[in-house]
């Protein structure tokens, strides 16, 4: 298995090379040179496999150069159920990502039971162990750089804290996350964790970080790697829970299901699309957006027109306040059947004009590809959170409410639909209280972070500022 660029660079690389590399030399994202297929017969053999065992099988498809014994030990230790113990049902001691059924064939896929109560723990725990145990020292980055809207940064800080020889630099937007998200993020103060706060939106922070990561010479000189949603290793980590939840949900292998996914930076959603391409029987993948509905408008019109960062709406599901999702380019590459020339053409149009349009033939193919989308707003989120509390006795966070809203409305009657729960409701107490009149409780056994949080001083976003901060950390 080799990896190539979405934009056509022909220099194929191995998994270990791309592990913490943000971009290919031509600015594209890394993709496997072929998509491994999982037959119904293979799915049958995976029935009854535990989460760690399934992670081993799927990672082996994409990283065959890792010795099997090393990969098995890595997956076993990364996905111990005790590391994901903050589940709704504390007596379900072996479930890493439990499936909780609600009504009419709709279920929650719980992905946020790890130490920072967000789905990012599933991929970043694996990434931290992979860096320490498997990645050769001469390929290890000295600095990991990423932008965060809250949850990813908190998870990265937790899992990479105190790793010798590695500094983590996280750029976050000022006043663009909940108080609880900030408490978990900024109270991680290990000496190798560095928080930088920028004055702008998450899109502004991500654009700035990407410009720095795209500078090959600067990154090589300072041994900088990426820690963000575009890492292929994270996409493969997401794949695991699609396959695992499918095998838990169906009555027979071959039965089709539907997934509803919060859009965010599109890494989670792209993994679902990839699982479908690999052969997982997904009838429909529903991508849920909030008021920042760039992808929903794209699916409905064939025109991809991200809002300028100054027009990105600050909503009550802040981790989805993203106008230009980082992994959409991967979806284009897959949807256009690996046509890197066309992908490059569309990306140039996006950079030059702020938008691109599919041809009529491409748009017709998009409408038939098994992917759909929906959008919801603040009143819709309040409605869903209240309904979940009243009718099902569970709290959900606003991002999961977005997924549930689109999933309930758009799923075909009689087809099992799994809505991805990517963060726990306790991180958004104000929203939950407004909808239900109750405060969500911290999970049983969870050590509540300090009430007082003091974010670092904010700075105007500029390449000079970020390059200077990163260079100083690397000294």
Question: What mean pLDDT, rounded, does the chain reach?
Answer: 94
How does 184-198 read in b/e, with b if 16+ C-beta sit within 10 Å? bbbebeeebbbbbbb
Question: Could you tell me if 201 and 175 are in contact, meaning their C-beta atoms sit under 8 angstroms apart?
Answer: no
Give dist(CA 44, CA 246) in Å, integer.
Answer: 12
Give dist(CA 250, CA 37) in Å, integer.
Answer: 20
How does 38-49 read in b/e, with b if 16+ C-beta sit within 10 Å? beeeebeebeee
Lowest mean pLDDT among 91-100, 338-347, 371-380: 91-100
Count of positions (residues) in the chain: 475
The angle subtended at Cα 48 by Cα 43 and Cα 54, nearest 5°, is 65
Q: Quick one: pLDDT band at residue 439, thresholds 50, 70, 90? A: very high
Give dist(CA 272, CA 324) in Å, integer.
Answer: 19
Whole-model pTM?
0.95
Q: What is the mean pLDDT of residues 358-367?
A: 95
Give dist(CA 51, CA 226) in Å, integer.
Answer: 27
Q: What is the mean pLDDT of residues 288-293?
A: 94
The phi and psi torsions of 430 (rounded to 5 degrees) equal: -65, -45
Query: Does residue 396 register a pLDDT over 90?
Result: yes
Give dist(CA 420, CA 244) in Å, integer.
Answer: 13
Q: Quick one: pLDDT band at residue 336, thresholds 50, 70, 90? A: very high
Dihedral over alpha carbons 326, 332, 338, 340 (to 10 degrees): -70
Q: Quick one: pLDDT band at residue 90, thresholds 50, 70, 90? A: confident
Q: What is the mean pLDDT of residues 223-236?
A: 95
| pLDDT, tens digit (0-9, with 9 covering 90-100), for 442-464 | 999 999 988 867 788 899 999 99
Q: What is the DSSP string of 436-457?
A: HSSPPPPPTT--PPPS---PPP
User: Which pLDDT score, from 0 to 100, does residue 93 have?
Assistant: 77
How far is residue 69 CA from its own chain's centroid? Answer: 27
| pLDDT, tens digit (0-9, with 9 covering 90-100), for 119-138 | 999 999 999 999 999 988 88
Query: Does residue 302 register a pLDDT over 90?
Result: yes
Query: Does residue 270 register a pLDDT over 80?
Result: yes
* Alpha-carbon radius of gyration of the chain: 21
Task: Return the structure tokens found at 268.
Answer: 């989670």
Q: Quick one: pLDDT band at residue 309, thresholds 50, 70, 90? A: confident
User: Which pLDDT score, from 0 to 100, does residue 139 have?
Assistant: 82
Q: Which residue has the tokens 């998200």?
A: 181
User: Which pLDDT score, from 0 to 100, does residue 475 have?
Assistant: 62
């Amino acid at each position: 298995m080799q990896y190539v660029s979405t934009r056509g660079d022909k220099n194929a690389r191995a998994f270990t090379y791309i592990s913490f590399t943000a971009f290919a030399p031509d600015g594209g994202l890394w993709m496997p040179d072929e998509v491994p297929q999982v037959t119904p017969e293979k799915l049958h053999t995976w029935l009854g496999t535990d989460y760690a065992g399934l992670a081993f099988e799927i990672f082996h498809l994409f990283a065959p150069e890792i010795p099997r014994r090393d990969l098995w030990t890595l997956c076993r230790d990364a996905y111990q159920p005790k590391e994901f113990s903050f589940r709704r049902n504390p007596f379900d001691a072996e479930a890493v990502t439990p499936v909780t059924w609600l009504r009419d064939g709709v279920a929650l896929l719980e992905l946020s039971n790890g130490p920072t109560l967000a789905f990012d723990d599933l991929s970043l725990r694996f990434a931290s162990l992979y860096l320490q145990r498997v990645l050769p020292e001469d390929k290890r980055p000295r600095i990991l750089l990423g932008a965060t809207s809250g949850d990813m940064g908190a998870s990265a800080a937790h899992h990479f804290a105190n790793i010798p020889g590695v500094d983590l630099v996280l750029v976050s937007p000022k006043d663009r996350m909940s108080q609880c998200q900030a408490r978990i993020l900024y109270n991680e103060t290990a000496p190798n964790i560095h928080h930088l706060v920028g004055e702008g939106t998450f899109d502004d922070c991500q654009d700035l970080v990407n410009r720095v990561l795209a500078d090959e010479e600067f990154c090589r000189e300072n041994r900088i790697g990426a820690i963000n949603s575009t890492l292929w290793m994270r996409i493969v980590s997401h794949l695991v829970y699609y396959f695992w939840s499918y095998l838990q949900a169906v009555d027979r292998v071959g039965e089709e299901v539907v997934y509803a996914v919060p859009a965010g930076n599109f890494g989670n959603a792209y993994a679902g699309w990839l699982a479908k391409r690999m052969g997982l029987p997904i009838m429909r993948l529903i991508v849920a957006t909030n008021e920042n509905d760039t992808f929903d408008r794209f699916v409905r019109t064939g025109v991809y027109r991200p809002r300028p960062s100054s027009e990105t709406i600050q909503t009550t599901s802040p981790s989805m306040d993203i106008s230009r999702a980082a992994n959409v380019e991967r979806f284009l590459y897959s949807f256009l059947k690996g046509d890197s020339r066309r992908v490059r053409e569309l990306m140039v149009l996006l950079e030059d004009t702020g938008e691109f349009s599919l041809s009529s033939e491409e748009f017709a193919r998009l409408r038939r590809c098994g992917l759909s989308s929906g959008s919801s707003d603040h009143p819709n989120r309040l409605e869903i959170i209240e309904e979940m509390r009243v009718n099902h006795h569970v709290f959900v966070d606003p991002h999961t409410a977005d997924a549930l809203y689109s999933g309930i409305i758009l799923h075909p009657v009689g087809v099992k639909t799994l809505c991805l729960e990517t963060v726990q409701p306790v991180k958004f107490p104000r929203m939950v209280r407004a909808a239900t009149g109750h405060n969500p409780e911290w999970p049983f056994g969870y050590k509540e972070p300090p009430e007082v949080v003091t974010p670092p001083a904010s700075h105007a976003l500029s390449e000079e500022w970020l390059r200077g901060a990163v260079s100083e950390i690397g000294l």
